[in-house]
A and B are shown apart, each in its own frame.
Chain A
Amino acid sequence: MRKKKLAGIFMSFMMAAGVLAGCNSSSTSGEKDGETIKIGANLELSGGVASYGQSIEEGLKLAIEEINKEGIDGKKLELVTFDNKSDAAEATNGAIKLISQDKVSAIIGAATSTNTLAQVEIAQKNKTPLITPTGTNSTITFKDGVLNDFVFRTCFIDPFQGTVAANFASKDLKVKNAAIIIDSSSDYSKGLASSFQKSFESSGGKVVAEEAYVAKDTDFNAILTNIKAKNPEFVFLPGFYEEVGLIIKQARALGINVPIMGGDGWDSPTLVDIAGAGSLNNTYITNHYSSGDSDPKVQDFVKAFQGKYKDKSPDAFAALGYDTAYFLADAIKRAGSGDPEKIRKALEETDGLAVVSGNLKVNENHDQVKAAVILEYKEGKQEFNTKVNP
Chain B
Amino acid sequence: MEFLQQLVNGVSLGSIYALIALGYTMVYGIVKLINFAHGDVFMVGAFIGFYSITILDLGFFPSLLISMVTCAILGVLIERIAYKPLRNATRIAALITAIGVSLLIEYGVIYVRGAQPEAYPGDLIPATSIDFLGVKVSSQSLMILGTSVVLMVLLQFIVHKTKIGKAMRAVSYDMDAARLMGINVNNTISATFAIGSALAGAAGVAFGMYYTKIEPLMGIIPGLKAFVAAVLGGIGIIPGAMVGGLLLGVIESLVSAAGFSLWRDGVAFVVLILILIFRPAGLFGKNVREKV
Contact = CB atoms under 8 A, between A and B. Distances in A.
| A touches B (Cβ under 8 A) | yes
B117 A254 contact: no
Contact of A273 (B9, B119, B262): B119
B136 A254 contact: yes
B43 to A, nearest CB: 13
Contact of B115 (A46, A222, A245): A46
Contacts of B136: 253-255
A212 B262 contact: yes
Given A225-B6, A253-B138, A245 B212 contact: yes
Interface stretch (B34-42, B55-63, B250-258): B250-258
B256 A223 contact: yes
Interface in A208-260: 211-214, 216-219, 221-223, 225-226, 228-229, 242, 245-246, 249, 253-255
A51 B215 CA distance: 14
A228 B129 CA distance: 15
A205 interface: no
A211 to B, nearest CB: 6
Interface in A85-112: 85
A357 B211 CA distance: 35
Given A225-B6, A246-B213, A253-B138, A270 B261 contact: no
A360 B116 CA distance: 32
A215 to B, nearest CB: 11
Contacts of B115: 46-47, 50, 85
A71 interface: no
Contacts, number: 85
Given A213-B262, A245-B119, A218 B211 contact: yes
Contacts of A249: 212
Contacts of B129: 253-255
B127 interface: yes
A81 to B, nearest CB: 16
DSSP majority for the B interface?
Answer: helix
Interface in B191-242: 211-213, 218, 221
B146 interface: no
A218 B9 CA distance: 13
Interface in B10-27: 10, 12-13
Contact of A222 (B122, B211, B213, B253): B253
A207 interface: no
Interface residues of A, number: 33
A150 B60 CA distance: 54
Contacts of B218: 218
B262 A214 contact: yes
B100 interface: no
Nearest to B129: A253
Interface in B44-102: none
Contact of B9 (A46, A50, A222): A222
Nearest to A255: B136
B12 A221 contact: yes
Interface string B243-269: 000000000111111010110100000
A211 B259 CA distance: 7
Contacts of A211: 259, 261
Given A219-B211, A249-B212, A226 B259 contact: yes
Given A46-B114, A222-B9, A225-B2, A276 B261 contact: no
A213 B9 CA distance: 16
Given A214-B262, A245-B119, A221 B253 contact: yes
Nearest to B116: A50
Nearest to A210: B259
Contact of B256 (A46, A85, A184, A222): A222
Nearest to A245: B213
A274 B2 contact: no
Given A46-B115, A51-B116, A221-B253, A229 B261 contact: no
A219 B222 CA distance: 11
Contact of B122 (A51, A221, A225, A276): A276
Contacts of B10: 222
Nearest to B139: A253
Nearest to A243: B213
Given A211-B261, A222-B252, A222-B256, A270 B117 contact: yes
A184 B262 contact: yes
B5 interface: yes
B53 to A, nearest CB: 13
Interface of B: 2, 5-6, 9-10, 12-13, 114-117, 119, 122, 127, 129, 136, 138, 211-213, 218, 221, 252-257, 259, 261-262, 264
Ordered nearest first, which 4 A-B pairs have the shortest CB separation?
A: A222-B256, A273-B119, A221-B9, A274-B119
22 contacts: A46-B114, A46-B116, A184-B262, A217-B264, A219-B9, A219-B13, A221-B9, A221-B12, A221-B253, A222-B10, A222-B254, A222-B256, A222-B257, A222-B264, A226-B2, A226-B257, A226-B259, A228-B5, A229-B2, A242-B117, A245-B119, A255-B136
